[in-house]
Structure 1
């Protein structure tokens, strides 16, 4: 090949350009970096967990960690996994770390902010099947990264974040232990070690419950009572029951964005006292009501079913916890005298437990249940859609909504919700809503953690996992598939209530379930499905009350309905007298 020579002037110009580019690159901003450490006074041992960095514009609404959520007003948050992190060792969060709502620290506008870091601690779990996992075990708080005892955090500090520079943050405090509630005349607290769960997890695992005793329990030692299981999220104590009325001078300046009213805290307190008066009144049915504590390493409760990732919680609750409670507090102890109800997560659990254990329960009242048909997994059909985040055409795609108000106004998308969870924890460890569905419903993945139903970053659905979900946890599909055996056992036992403007679009799955149920004789002989006009999430089936009150009336709404079921369906010779005083 013939050699080519450039003029000397051209060579000189190219050399100048190279030196200029090198100089520009060497002075190019790296962007801001946070260098995070923890004090050796907090731990001498190396720590594992999820290190979170929160950035807020102010602290008027609380510490930055308490401003994180999937609403438009969320604080900024970033997260990284740490393994064997030692005191004094710096961990870096910079522009390469994925965040929410902004995806990168480099997108943050320069200015003054309040900053806080927190370590959500993980423990090493050695399961019976040989898996070794690092997970955030519940420590009595109900699987909450903000308050979990022992989690390390920094005091919120005002800092100036520019286009470059290092900012040091030191974790100096640890969350305290959770106070254990005390027994009262009406409310008792129990905690048992579960043999089934302990065997699954390879370590002691516990179930707890708050038990509401009926009026006259001590005065009628001969009485044995029906049992009501009020399913729902982790209860720190029995919810919505107070012998004391709210103080007359209780502050009513608080504002509920959801319900557009002031003084909602006082309304809740007054309703708790109203329930106490109803519960102790002369003609109200005498029964036991329990709320269950079954937090686990993935969420604030287990969804009350057996799961490849969570463990045999369905069996543990049905065959260990409930018989123990009935023995301790004089329950009747038979399926016809046990009833299920709850809303949202609790609504799904009530229906699922009735379907999976049809002989063990006498009826369910499922309000605003989480998706009971995965053709309407909120806004996703996991069997037909290719992507959980977008509806796609040949030239554009539209984000699928995640949350709406009763007018249909959208404040977040499914992608937003899942990207926040991805920041809070990898490998389904965020403790969030979408991750717990995945942890409960999915098979075990190759890495030992739950197998993803869809790619958390992109939303692409795994069709094989979707089929596993359908066969094991799609409640409508399971009822259709097994109705010849299930139907006779579920006659008159299924009752579902949902607002037609449910914030999470949960009514869409209820419509699909109803389409099947209303064609069956077993359902039409006593069961019902009802919808609340423009009612939002947690509507319980009472059309006479506004949504902000109906969601507080689960016990007073369903206990009288349960009494009617008992009177209609109790077997011959059943005890219908000892508890009717």
Structure 2
């Protein structure tokens, strides 16, 4: 009897099909509690996976080789109780797809990075995440909602994973003013007109030693550009408290005792600032976070609007009026590094 090779192929195909039928698709299903809102949310729904089960996954995502895993999808008008599913083909950083996640014990968490709708003066409507005072950090941005971490064993047979969002990130606590450091905010008419809603500029101001608002003394202005600062950095009125010999290696600079060095330099700056021989001037760091990034690059652009004009013609004159600035081009100095250097 002649054997038919086609029969062997059919048997082999059937055997392979049986091997695969025990595997369950790694589908994630997510809902959120109606106590968080009933109006429906737009945004980016993220699934966060961390190997450190003692730390929330939302704090384990970064650009190092120790990063956790993150993937997500856009959602529109997502209602409470509505189930969103994410399938194995979804792109995942840094592994490729959800199906490529190595098996193991992980901590799982869902987070919705909320979007607002902006009706721009250009006629376009865009959905973007509005900064909430945190400098465009999605994992701590107030009003974003998230689930409590769940520790699970993850493998090809673990089946669907269900996450329920029940928490909301609280508002940022503003840094209090001190004798030398002030924090100001203005609503920009230029940016408000462009974005179609109230938009603000902020600055952290280091005032001159012995500044008296009633005095006729005028001061030059130094403008430091860089990424979002929550307060004026590198200035400390008390002696260092960190351990000089802490033995903790700073991976960026390859040294130990880095916290002590920072504190000492900040304290030395304060001592210079109040010394008799040190020149008197105003120094500011600008907060110009926006729906795209933690700073605007301090220029006018078609997608961001007139940030360059708003900083130059609205924010800086306002600060000079408050703190007796010279108010002329020759009385202004701009400096910065990295992004700040580009902006300068």
Work out whether the TM-score is over 0.5.
yes
**What does the per-residue CA deviation read over 1:426-471, in whole Å, with 9 as the maximum and x for residues that have no partner?**
xxxxxxxxxxxxxxxxxxxxxxxxxxxxxxxxxxxxxxxxxxxxxx
Aligned partner (choices 113, 116, 122) of residue 129 of structure 1? 122
Higher helix content, 1 or 2? 1
Q: Aligned to 1:82, which of 75, 78, 81?
A: 75
The DSSP-based 3-state class of the residue aligned with 2:192 is helix
Which has more strand, going by share of residues?
Answer: 2
Alignment of 1:498-577 (within 5 A): none
Secondary structure of the residue aligned to 1:115 is: strand
Corresponding residue for 2:30? 36
Query: What is the match of residue 200 of structure 1?
Result: 194
CA–CA distance in structure 2, aligned partners of residues 315 and 12 of structure 1: 75
Inter-partner Cα distance in structure 1 for 2:342 and 2:56: 33
How far off is 1:113 after superposition?
A: 1.1
1:256 has 2:256 as partner = no
Which residue in the other structure is 1:96 paired with? 89
| Dislocated runs of 4+, deviation >6 Å | 248-251
- Please tell me whether the aligned partners of residues 335 and 341 of structure 2 are also in contact (alpha carbons under 8 angstroms): yes
**What secondary structure is seen at the aligned counterpart in 2 of 1:191?**
strand
Bigger RCO (CA 8 Å, 6+ sep):
2
How many corresponding residue pairs? 343
Equivalent residue in structure 2 for 1:149, among 142, 150, 153: 142
Q: Give the Cα–Cα distance (whole angstroms) in 2 for the partners of residues 43 and 337 of structure 1.
A: 50
2:217 match:
223
Q: Give 2:58's match in structure 1, choosing from 65, 69, 74.
A: 65
The CA deviation at 1:252 is: 3.4
Q: Distance in 2 between matches of 1:201 and 1:216?
A: 40
8 Å CA contact retained: 1:229, 1:290: yes
1:346 is aligned, of 334, 340, 344, to 340
1:186 maps to which of 171, 174, 180: 180
Where structure 1 has 5 or more consecutive residues not aligned to the other structure, the ranges are 1-6, 351-581
Assess if the C-alpha contact under 8 Å between 1:32 and 1:163 holds in 2. yes
| 1:305 paired residue number | 299
User: Which residue among 298, 312, 315 is the counterpart of 1:321?
Assistant: 315
Check whether the contact 2:53–2:106 (CA below 8 A) recurs between aligned residues.
Answer: no
Aligned equivalents of 2:258, 2:279: Cα separation in 1: 29
Task: State how far apart, in whole Å, the 1-side matches of 2:330 and 2:254 are.
Answer: 42
Contact 1:254/1:265 (<8 A) preserved: no
> RMSD of aligned C-alpha atoms?
2.5
Q: Are residue 279 (structure 1) and residue 273 (structure 2) matched?
A: yes
* Cross-structure match for 2:132: 139
CA distance in 1, matches of 2:67, 2:242: 34
Equivalent position SS for 1:267: helix
1:529-581 CA-partner distances (Å, limit 9, x unpaired): xxxxxxxxxxxxxxxxxxxxxxxxxxxxxxxxxxxxxxxxxxxxxxxxxxxxx
Distance 1:186 1:197 in 2: 29
Q: Normalising by structure 2, what TM-score? A: 0.92
Q: Distance in 2 between matches of 1:50 and 1:313?
A: 26
TM-score, length of structure 1 as denominator length: 0.56
Deviation at 1:265, TM superposition (A): 2.1
